[in-house]
Structure 1
């Protein structure tokens, strides 16, 4: 039976990919609620069928608007977040507003209407691991956030858990590793390097590039979220990862060679303050309990598909590029 799904932040990178995934793989109708900040892009929702997808321009902190939308929805999937670490270091307040107050506003609405709620979070709430640590994050790893961004996401996760326990809200949480794929803003690491090469600029590497991330294609994140919405146990947390650990230098060198460039054709720039060393996800629970598997278990194959997308969609990213690079130059990055 087709559901009515409300997706917040779906003009952004991961949310828009989720909407495309829903349209392609379900009969559900989708309402997008997005504030259309700099990270939201109407072009990311272009081409979707109007009888399946409607778009509302609004703020998740607007309690009246949120209540109206939740009242007519079967499921709320909450992607909306301020999510860029560098931005959180320069101005933390928007992260508090969106990630804490926005989540509270949504939770109160689903509490009133009995709507199923799924909360999208990040592995960054767990802090970081040493580069030589054999351990990976699990659902029982203690929270240890290190930035305004990750601390506000950790706070939003705790709000969800409290609303489940205190008020019986039907909610689940997923914490995902770093996403890559189509429709990601060019301020982010992988699309920044790809688009630099396309426009003839040298890519940029923070410090020595030894920081490790556990990469997952956005389509695999989407399929995991849908599986959790359909079969996840209420009140539970699921970690989403595709065993894609690579350090930043390895990723950049793969991008360069995949685009026909020398593997050392990049510049080092000043490192980010408090740059976490390593993230690594253990997704055993998701795989064993819910039977989920990634469709891009090979990072190199997913990266090649991502490069092809940015090469074929310059009209999507070029309007963002000049302003983004100007901002990085001001920061010495």
Structure 2
């Protein structure tokens, strides 16, 4: 994949910024990465500040819902692939205010696909055949699992239970429709819960790390037994890159970390590692800061994805276990307190933060 241009939408967010960095490191991609980001509350240009002087990287502030703007970028940079991370993605926010989720995730995706389809139709045959639109989605579109249920496969029907997951399910369907109706060469990925560097601190893992270090409560929804499959963000990035290079057009690939854990176990492990690497000045364990709070409405009990398809077809497996990934994540937050403090200074945190798990 050399001498090409990739349009990454939402590239200043958590997963998007890690993907941009992954592309431009270790000689993986010898082309231009154009980052289109609306720079809303979770889009932080500081996530990629170290790439500002890299001639291979271009940041453009704008919305995927701006069809004319997307068209200009596609033509101006002769884009060969689009990787769509742009989305409103926090469940609690979607419960409080659903409209922005449907505007971005549904209408925005639709308008972007319109621009992409028009651009793709005008490409020469060889470029049109090589072009890809990769849509990044979530396991939450599949709904909830019982403890004894098998993990979600790509054949599971969408059964969303929150405004957020409903908006993402709708976007998945729109992408699929543009392939089957217009022939647009698309691929879709549905990932499990990501964690790692640069994650916005309203999500469970960074919230618990930062609250612990700041001496605040560690709020755990319900009984803490909601189960998620945890995926280290760089593993997710490597999987997306493999799908972009080798995935079959029109197909969906689940991406999981093989790390099912209940929330309470996640919090306990964070406390255990922090007790080891950054003990509390007042003594005692960070465990003492745990509290249980009222569960959020419609909180899905368990998510888990079966990643057999991507493993079998593309040879991808996660490199990190949860134990290695969570330690790397905690150490990153300890070593990057300035980034965390800047998040607070810009008032990214709400007074009451939920945990999107």
TM-score by length of structure 1 reads 0.95
The structure 1 residue matched to 2:55, chosen from 51, 54, 59, is 51
Aligned counterparts of 2:264 and 2:288: Cα–Cα separation in 1: 9
The structure 1 residue matched to 2:322, chosen from 282, 299, 304, is 299
Aligned counterparts of 1:238 and 1:23: Cα–Cα separation in 2: 23
Q: CA deviation at 1:162?
A: 0.5
Change (3 A) 1:203 1:169: same
Unaligned runs of 5+ in 2: 121-130, 276-284
Aligned to 2:60, what secondary structure does the other structure show?
strand
What does 1:258-277 correspond to in 2, within 5 Å?
258-260=273-275, 261-263=285-287, 265-277=289-301
2:68 aligned with 1:64: yes
Contact 2:65/2:108 (8 A) holds in 1: yes
> 2:33 — aligned with what?
30
Q: CA deviation at 1:50?
A: 2.4
* Per-residue Cα deviation, 1:173-198 (whole angstroms, up to 9, x for no partner): 00000000000011111000000111
Unaligned runs of 5+ in 1: none
2:104 aligned with 1:98: yes
Change (3 A) 1:295 1:262: same
Aligned counterparts of 2:32 and 2:265: Cα–Cα separation in 1: 40
Aligned counterparts of 2:172 and 2:74: Cα–Cα separation in 1: 20
Q: CA deviation at 1:258?
A: 0.5
* Per-residue Cα deviation, 1:261-296 (whole angstroms, up to 9, x for no partner): 354541111211111100001000000000011111
Contact 2:84/2:136 (8 A) holds in 1: yes
Contact 1:256/1:265 (8 A) holds in 2: no
Aligned to 2:3, what secondary structure does the other structure show?
coil
> 2:136 — aligned with what?
120
The structure 1 residue matched to 2:234, chosen from 219, 231, 242, is 219
Aligned counterparts of 1:262 and 1:11: Cα–Cα separation in 2: 31
Q: CA deviation at 1:320?
A: 2.8
> 1:290 — aligned with what?
314
Q: CA deviation at 1:170?
A: 0.6
* Per-residue Cα deviation, 1:129-164 (whole angstroms, up to 9, x for no partner): 01x224000000011000110001000000011000
Aligned to 1:233, what secondary structure does the other structure show?
coil
> 1:181 — aligned with what?
196
Contact 2:87/2:104 (8 A) holds in 1: yes
> 1:21 — aligned with what?
22
Contact 2:68/2:115 (8 A) holds in 1: no
Aligned counterparts of 1:325 and 1:75: Cα–Cα separation in 2: 33
Contact 1:60/1:66 (8 A) holds in 2: yes
Q: CA deviation at 1:3?
A: 1.6
The structure 1 residue matched to 2:88, chosen from 82, 86, 94, is 82
Mean alpha-carbon deviation: is it higher for 308-317 or for 148-157? 308-317
Q: CA deviation at 1:28?
A: 2.8
Change (3 A) 1:265 1:138: same
Change (3 A) 1:326 1:105: closer
Contact 1:213/1:278 (8 A) holds in 2: yes
Q: CA RMSD in A?
A: 1.6
Aligned counterparts of 1:40 and 1:329: Cα–Cα separation in 2: 17
Aligned counterparts of 2:295 and 2:288: Cα–Cα separation in 1: 18
> How many corresponding residue pairs?
329
Change (3 A) 1:145 1:326: closer
Contact 2:3/2:30 (8 A) holds in 1: yes
Contact 2:101/2:167 (8 A) holds in 1: yes
Change (3 A) 1:245 1:55: same
